[in-house]
Every structure is written in C-alpha cells, then in structure tokens.
Chain A
Amino acid sequence: MKRSRYIAQKVGWALLTILFVITLNFFLFRVLPGDPARAGVRDPRLTREAVEAIRVRFGLDKPVINCFQSLNPMETGDCFINPLDTQFFIYVGNLLQGELGISYHTNRPVADMLMEMLWNTLLLIGLGQILAIVLGMSLGVLAAWKARTAVDHGALLFSLTAWSLPTFWLGIILLFIGSSYWGLPIGGRLTPGTVYNTSIERWLDIGNHLILPTLTYTIVFLGEYMLIMRSTLLDVLSEDYILTAKAKGISTFQILKDHALRNAMLPMVTIIALNLGFTVTGAIQIETVFSWPGLGGAIFTAVNRRDYPMLQGAFLLIAISVIFANLAADLFYSYLDPRVEDS
C-alpha cells in the first residue's frame, strides 16, 4: 500500500514537471530577441513579401496566445479570439499528435530528424556509458579491496587523470593516433559511398567508426565511476558489521559480494541515473570532434541557426529523458533501500 502510494506520488510529480516543461519550452523561445522568420535565412536581400510568406508558413503570423500578439517585443492583442487559433494551443495540439513542427533550417519534420539522431546518440553514448560503468565500477572495487597498495594508487592516479582530461583534447589526440597508426576512420558513422552486401557488413562499418568516439567517452567517464565506487566502498568496509563478518571467517570475496557492494551501490545509482538522463543530449564535444551525426551536434547547429522548432523538440526530449531517468533512480532506490519510502 505504502509502496504503491510512493510510486504514484513520484510518477505524478514527473508528469507535472513534464507539463511545466512543455509550457516553459514554448514561451522561452518566444521571448528571445530576434525574428525567427529572418534568422532562418539570414540575407538582407530577403524581400518583405518573402519574410511574410515565411511567417505564414510557420504560423508565426498568429497571436502567441490570447491577449498577446507577440512576446518580443511585448505586444498586447485581442483577448476574445478562439484560443485554438493561437500559436500556443496549436503547439500543444500538435504535440499531442506527436508532431514537433517543421525545422526552419531544413524544412523537414523535427520529429523525424530527432529520431534519426537519437538512435545515433544512444548507440554511441549508450555503449560508452556501459563500458565506463562496468570498467569504472570494477576498477573502483579492485582499488577499495586493495586499498593503500600499489594497485590502489595506480588505479587512483589513472582515474583522476582520465577524469580531468578535457574531452575534446583527448578526442583529437585519439583521432590523430587512431587515424595515423591504426587506420581507423576519422569521422562520421558510415563510409560514404559503400555498397553493403549484408547488414553485418554495415554494422561492422558502423562499429569501426564507433571505436574512437566510444573509447574517448569511456576514458572520460570511467574515472568518475571508479572514484565514487572506491570511496563509498571504503566507507562501507570500515563499518562494524564488516568487521563482524570478517570475525565470522567469511572470505573477502563473500564480504564484498554479500555485505559491502549492495550498500555501496546507492550513490552509484544516483550518478548513473543522472548521467543516463543527460545521455540524450549527447556529448557535444565528442560528436563534434568525430563528426558523429547525433543530437549534441544537432542542438549546437540549431542554436546557431535559431531553429526554434528543432530546439523546442530537442529541449523537450532532453527534459523528458532527465525526468524519466530521475524517476527510474527514485524507484530503483526504493528497491535497494526500502527506508527511503518512509521518509
């Protein structure tokens, strides 16, 4: 009973936050300076008629919402118009149908573009996260187990260095080494112009392109996981019940596996969930260095080109994924440590 109420409460808050984000997302872009109709095609040769045609095409000629013709500059308008014919409700209505609008820059549906890039980003970042989590945690456990030995110091030094490396710098260095000495592809996701006989060949090509960016991502994130795993595990290992377990003659491996790790997992879950939430934003730096066609790079371009529909869609996607990752962390937390439901 208590559990289901806890879950309902968490899910309710998540949905409320999403609603808030949808509203904020709309108004945020309307108060920014500059005219999106001109920003899409920045050329003074654009005639007034052409600008007007663009405004009509993207619905920018309609009032933002009842009583407001536009928000920048603040311009009041008629309050007694059909609310369904305002930009805000058209936006909400389209959202409900899964439509995110048409990109100003490419003239393509934003939902299609985001979908394509979401998969690319998930592939790169997902793989990198999994490797970083597994390697980082293993290294952290090893370091805590062999605390204050050469192994511990070595692992600590490696992780601190990896964590403090600037991502783009590491990326460029790996790119130069990888392309010069190992013949790895420099950028992109596929070798352009290749005819693939089977889908296995295609995946091998993608895998080949993935090696360098994934390696960069793993090295950068591995350090964080290792350091947190090591320090929390060291805390747990100094607890009295661990001493008791030792006194009972349980092997070190058993102590780690059965008694220490589970308690040490709590902060890890939080960090992993937070990182997974931001996974969707992609790693702008890595995607740029390796020309990986993912969301991070797309958001960067959209900001530069003031591509509002694209930005709106991307921000919504990020917000929703962060909210869901947090929800997942909350729920998983309550599994690991039932005490959180009480508080």
Chain B
Amino acid sequence: MKRHYLILCALLLLLLAACGGSQPTTPADSGDTGSSSQTVTTPAAEAAGPVIVRVGWGGSPDTLNPGTAVLAEAYTIFELVYDSMYQLQPDGSYTLELAESVDVSADGTVYTYTLRDGITFHDGERLTASDVAFSYNLYASQEDFPFLPIYTSYFDSVEAPDDKTVVLTLTEAIPNIESQLIYLYVLPEHIWADVPDAAEFENTAMIGSGPFKMKEYRQNEFVSLDAVKDHYLKGPQIDGAVFQTFDNPDALVQALKTGQVDMITEMPNTAVAALRNDANVQVVSGPPLSPSVTDIIFNVVTPENCPPDDGICTGHPALQDRNVRLALAHATDKQNIIDVVLLGLGAPGLTLIPDSLGDFYNDQIQDYEFDIALANQILDDAGYVDSNNDGVRETPDGRDLIFRLNWPSDSVDSPRMAELLAGNWGQIGVRTEQQSLDPDTLTSICCPAFDFDIILWGWGSDPDPSFLLSVMTTDEITTGTNETGYSNPEYDELFVQQATTLDDAQRIAIIHRMQEIAHHDIPYIIPYYAQEVQAFRLDRFRGWLTDAGKVALEDPSSLLVIEPVNR
C-alpha cells in the first residue's frame, strides 16, 4: 500500500521537477527575446557581425544531389552554389559563365569552349576542363538520374584536350544549346569520381564553384550559405544568405512584416494587398523566371489516333468539333477568373507558350472575346440545340452536352476556377460534372488513356519552348505527354522545322506561327498566366533586381548585387 503511494508521489515529483527544470529557461529566454525584438525595430546592418540576407520560402530542397533533385527549391540553391556553362539572365538572354569564349563549327555540331582562368572549387582545388567533361559524361551515363539525360540526348562526345578547353560534339546541330547546358552543373571530379553510386550520394558537403558555398543544410528547416567574396565573376556584396522554410504561408508573410526575414519568394495572393500597404515592404510581381502555365485540357483525340496499347478514349464526341470548343472559348470569362482566382495577379492566357518565355511568346494573337451571345449563336448554327428544354443542349444525334470536369486534388486554385467555368458555360447550355481527383488517378485517366472530357492542370517548362511545343505534336500522343490528343500535320511539320532552324529570328517566326495554329484549333483554353509575387524589406538591403522583366529575387542576378542599406 505504502509502496504504491510512494511510486505515485515520485512520479508527480518527477513531473514537477521536469516542469521546474523548464521554468528557469523561460525568464532567460524572454531576456533573450528582448534583445531580438530590438533587432526587429532597429534595422540590423550596423551590427558588427556578418551581413546576411535572410530569405523566407515555403519549401526546402528535396536533396542537394543535382542528379536526383526535383523541386525548384533545390535548383535555386544549385544556381548559387554551382556554376554551369551558361547563365540564364532575367531578361531571357544567356551569358557565358564558366567559359570566356565559345567557338562553334560551321555545321553547328562542335562547340569548343575555352574556360576562364582561376576558377576554383570551394575546397580550393582548381576547376579544369576535365571536371566539365567528367560532369557531362556522368549526366549522360547515369540512368538513375531522372531528368538530366534529356539534356544530354544530343551529346555525341565531351572531351577535355587540355585544362582550359572543352570540346562538345553533338549528334546534330540544334538551336538551343544554352538551354540544354544551364542545368548541367559542373561537379568536382575529385569528389564525384570516388562516389560508388551517384544517385544515392547525399552530397551534404556540396562542393561547387559558385558565388556562394554551402555552410549548413537542415532539411525542412534552413539552408545557410556563405559568400565567396573572391569569386571569378563579381563576388557577392553580402557575407552570406540563409533560406528559411515556413510551412505556413501566413507565418511567412508575418516573418517579413516583423523583419525576421528580409525577402520572401512566395506568398498567398490574399496577403498582397496588406503587404502593399506596408511602408517598409516592396511587393514585386511579374512573369516568373521559370515558365509555368495553367491549362484547360480538352480531350480531342480521334479514334484513329487513340493509343493502341493504353488508350481507352471515352471523350465526349462533341469536343472533337471545333465549333463546340470555340463556343466554350467565347463563353470563358478569363478576366473574371483572374480577378477571382488570382485576385488579379495574372495575365489572360493564349496558348501553352506563356508570356514568361519572352521573345518566343506570340503576343500578337487576338484572343476569343468573352461573348455569351456569340457563343450561343455558334452552337445554334452548328446544330447543338436544347430540344427537350432541360437547359442542356444536345448534339445533333441527341447526346447531352454534359462534360466531365476534373482537376488534381492538390490544386488550390482549380476548385474555384471549375465553379466559375460551370457558371460561364451554363449560360450556353453546357453542363459539367465536377470532381477533383488525386494526381495519380488523374494521370491514369488523362493520358495516354484519354478517359476524360476536360481537365484543369498545368505545366512547368524550360526557358526554351521546345518541350511545351512538343506537348501538342502527334508523336507524343502515345507517350502520354500530349494530353489533348491534338494532331495537326502542319503543326507537326513546323515542330520539326523549328528544332533544326539555327537562325534565332527564323526559329521565333516558326514558333509564333505554331502558336497561331494552336490558338486557332483550340485543343486548350489557357485561362491565365499566373504572376510570380515576391516581396522584400526596404530597410535592410537595396539593389534588388525588380525591373528585369521577370521576377526572381532569389536568383544570383539579385543576390550578387544587393547590398546593406546602411553602409
């Protein structure tokens, strides 16, 4: 009896002791917070310590291994820590990075790069041509690297005849070598050559040759980088940069407001108005540096194009009629969708090629204006009438114009857009059956199965348009990349032409023509091109690149030039 009581008592005492133990830390902490709240009110820069820019974002790199990384956050860090042959500038142009010059053979298949002098890795070793050749060959040969082999698909051989010369031989001449090389980061051979399995390498030390070097990485917490002041290009004006992860978007905005971070790379659009009113904060918006597009996908695959192995092809036959798609396009109020879904932070879309692709984007196309009466007229004329007066039109052979409308369940914007579309299209006698689907299920009904009518989805892309253009070619119907089943021989022909046209102006003209065709045929309605919205504090650093056309404050183009306000 007594013993039990003692045990209970001891347990309570333990709890109390643990509680008491935690008590002393609280006063000490609040003392500590007193000082940190001072740093909030007085802008830090005059402090004697290192000048570090603090960036807040919602994600975290999935891995530091450039071969297996998927997330954009990882690529942001790679851009800062590694170098590649070219650097993509925010205005869409490319500059040479590791090389000081390049010599292209007359037939356009041999590129001879001469590297700059005095390039070193962060561990002090020299970066030579053999590191470049080693890296390119690694990317080309590693089947376990999911994406990079795509960029090396035109490589015939990479050689390093001497320390400063890299000879890259291609299997055929291509117009966009720059966009093939920007993500092929040059790795130190003296480290990676000894790695037994490159795809399993965690690469936590992350030795590169970029203007920042890895200091500390804690997944889902932060990435801390030190500046390389004596970098062979212009070194950073700051001493370091940290990227802190905030799982909660409201907390991210609050961190900027209270000065716990100096810049945020993303925010919910609902926060934009409040931040614009903050005198200490500047909000920047515009096309993103990494092109992305949101699309309304119509299943237009014809029976003869239905993929023989994987195709189910249950699309509504009316969607194969351009008149129906044209009516839907005229009945889609894009500006309203932008105002409601994006709170105005977007531009009306035309085709899969977004405005963030710069010169490749054809801004001369006249879009289908929002006109319900015209849309109704088009359907009337094409023979789609509501003969049984149930509010839904029927096809000439009596099938209701009821379309399945699906979107990925992890999309925040799609449910609202679907609701708006249902309202718009309801006015022309078209009904939708809406359902959000888990992304895997959506992939399985989408393509190459073509077991859907309409899907709301989207794409991200390289700075070069060839991938997004390929999405509408007949060849990609069976692979599942062509999600509409769209097929137009003239378009396919032009796609082949642009892939081999080396003259920039000519190639752009072909690509503009392709967009006109796609816009005319309406395999997609592109509701909008969403803008990138970022914000920074005015009292900490100045020099952020805000007028370069595209918005990417986390890009080296900003982080290399910003400097503290009070210096």
Interface positions of A (Cβ within 8 A of B): 33-35, 38-47, 49-50, 53-54, 57, 102, 105-108, 113, 127, 130-131, 133-134, 172, 175-176, 179-180, 182-190, 192-193, 203-205, 207-208, 211, 258, 261-262, 265, 287-291, 293, 297-298, 301, 304, 306, 335-336
A105 touches B62 (CB 8 A): yes
Q: Which of B20-28, B164-172, B370-378, B535-543 contacts A (4 or more CB under 8 A)?
A: B20-28
**Contacting pair A262 B37 (CB below 8 A):** no
Q: Quick one: which of B170-217 are within 8 Å of A by CB? A: 199-200, 202, 215-216
A interface, over-half SS: helix
User: Is the CB–CB distance between B199 and A107 below 8 Å?
Assistant: yes
Q: Pick from A107, A183, A204, A288: contact of B247, CB below 8 A.
A: A288
Distance A190 CA – B200 CA, assembled complex (angstroms): 28
List B contacts of A203 (CB < 8 A). Answer: 25
Contact B254 A45 (CB under 8 A): no
Given that A50-B143, A134-B15 are known contacts, is A186 also in contact with B29, CB under 8 Å in the complex? Answer: no
Chain B residues near A287 (CB, 8 Å)?
247
Of B143, B216, B224, B254, which one neighbours A175 at CB under 8 angstroms? B254
Q: Known contacts being A43-B70, A134-B15, is A192 close to B54, with CB within 8 Å?
A: yes
Within 8 A of A (CB), among B455-481: 467, 479-481
Is B527 an interface residue, CB under 8 A from the partner? Answer: no
> By the criterion CB–CB under 8 Å, are A289 and B251 in contact?
yes
> Could you say which residues of chain A place their CB within 8 Å of the CB of B7?
335
* Across-interface contacts of A44 in B (CB, < 8 A): 443, 447, 479-481
A33 partner residues in chain B, CB cutoff 8 A: 438, 440-441, 444
Query: Could you say which of B26, B65, B147, B410 contacts A43, with CB atoms under 8 Å apart?
Result: B147
Verify A106–B439 contact, CB threshold 8 A.
no
> How many residue pairs bridge A and B at CB < 8 Å?
189
Separation of A337 and B526 alpha carbons in the complex (Å): 70
B255 touches A187 (CB 8 A): yes
* Those 5 A-B pairs whose CB atoms lie nearest each other, nearest first: A183-B37, A34-B440, A192-B222, A192-B242, A193-B242
Q: Tell me whether B251 and A291 are in contact (CB under 8 A).
A: yes
From B38, B200, B244, B481, give the contact of A187 (CB < 8 A).
Answer: B244
**Separation of A127 and B15 alpha carbons in the complex (Å):** 10
Structural contact, A133 and B15, CB atoms closer than 8 A? yes
Additional A-B contact list (11), CB under 8 Å, known A106-B219, A301-B220: A41-B70, A50-B147, A108-B219, A185-B260, A192-B244, A193-B222, A193-B240, A207-B28, A262-B5, A293-B218, A336-B8
Interface of chain B: mostly helix, strand, loop or mixed: mixed
Q: State whether A289 touches B244 (Cβ < 8 A).
A: no
Query: Can you list 13 residue pairs at the A/B interface with Cβ under 8 Å?
Result: A42-B439, A43-B70, A50-B145, A57-B144, A107-B65, A107-B200, A133-B15, A180-B254, A182-B37, A185-B36, A208-B29, A262-B5, A291-B248
With A106-B63, A184-B33, A185-B36 as given contacts, are A192 and B441 in contact (CB-CB < 8 Å)?
no
Is the Cβ of B220 less than 8 Å from the Cβ of A297? yes
Per-position contact with A for B213-238: 1 when CB-CB < 8 Å, else 0? 00110111111100000000000000
**Shortest distance in angstroms between A322's beta carbon and chain B's nearest beta carbon?**
21
Residue on B nearest A168 in the bound complex, by CB? B248
B351 at the interface (CB under 8 A from A): no
A127 nearest in chain B by CB position: B22
With the chains together, A331 CA to B146 CA distance in Å?
52
